[in-house]
Amino acid sequence: MSETSDRSGPILQLLANGLRLWIRSQCEEVGELKLRLNGSAFQLLRGRLVSVELMARRVTFQGLPIQHAQLTSGPLHLNVRPGLPQQALQLQHPFRLHGDVTMQGTDLNRALLSERWRWLADWLASQLMGLPTLGSLAVDNDVLQLEAPVINSGEAIRRRFQLKAEAGTVVILHLDADESVPLPMDPGIQIQEARLQGGQLHLRGEANVTP
């Protein structure tokens, strides 16, 4: 893992280390991680930081594999505790995050077929194909392809879709019919852009984060 802060000073470095530990505690895996802390030592002594800019690669968050993330936080309210290296800071209040994340189609397929996200895979099969179980998901350039087995027939049905962001969520549009289905979305997350390109899913949006 590689973590850096673009600002110097022992207090801001303490904060960078604390944020690194907190981010790692929220994720199952973090590859490359870079932080830019926007604020002064004086602000930090008062428990305030203007924002944090984060760039990360190869992150697994709540079972979802993220190839790349570029995120910026809103203002942070902090409690700094230099005497506790493993808990050098506490985030005192919820904060906003906004930015972009990218997921590989192959990684997304594996995640959806895992036990944690199987419910969503089968929800997609039911809502979009009228079948109970999703067999696979693939991203072919800018097209989403779903495959679902037909029970007791030994055959599978394939359907093609595209994506768009609407009303704060991702809407899946059927390419062969005049139908669309919005994804169930946490009310604390607002999707502003959703697109498929080069076998990847790109999302841009905002989220409320509760420490």
**Per-residue b or e along 166-178, where b marks 16 or more CB atoms closer than 10 Å to that residue's CB:** eeebbbbbeeeee
What gap in Å lies between CA 63 and CA 28, rounded to an integer? 7
- pLDDT for the residue 8: 44
Is the per-residue pLDDT at 20 higher than 70?
A: yes
Higher-pLDDT residue of 93 and 74 is 74
- pLDDT for the residue 2: 39
pTM of the entire predicted model = 0.88
Residues in the chain: 211
pLDDT, one tens digit per residue, over 79-116 is 766 555 555 567 778 999 999 999 999 999 999 999 99
Number of helices (H) and strands (E) in the chain: give both, helices first: 4, 14
- pLDDT for the residue 6: 44
- pLDDT for the residue 79: 75
Q: How far is CA 109 from CA 46, 137, 147, 185, in A?
A: 45, 5, 11, 19
Residue with tokens 């800018």: 142
Least confident among 26-40, 137-151, 158-172:
26-40
Is the per-residue pLDDT at 195 higher than 60?
A: yes
Radius of gyration of the chain (CA): 20
Is the per-residue pLDDT at 30 higher than 50?
A: yes
Higher-pLDDT residue of 82 and 63 is 63
What gap in Å lies between CA 51 and CA 39, rounded to an integer? 7
Residues 43, 54 contacting (CB under 8 angstroms)? no
**What are the backbone angles phi and psi of residue 109, rounded to the nearest 5°?**
-60, -45
> What average pLDDT does this structure show over 106-131?
96
Residues 156, 135 contacting (CB under 8 angstroms)? yes
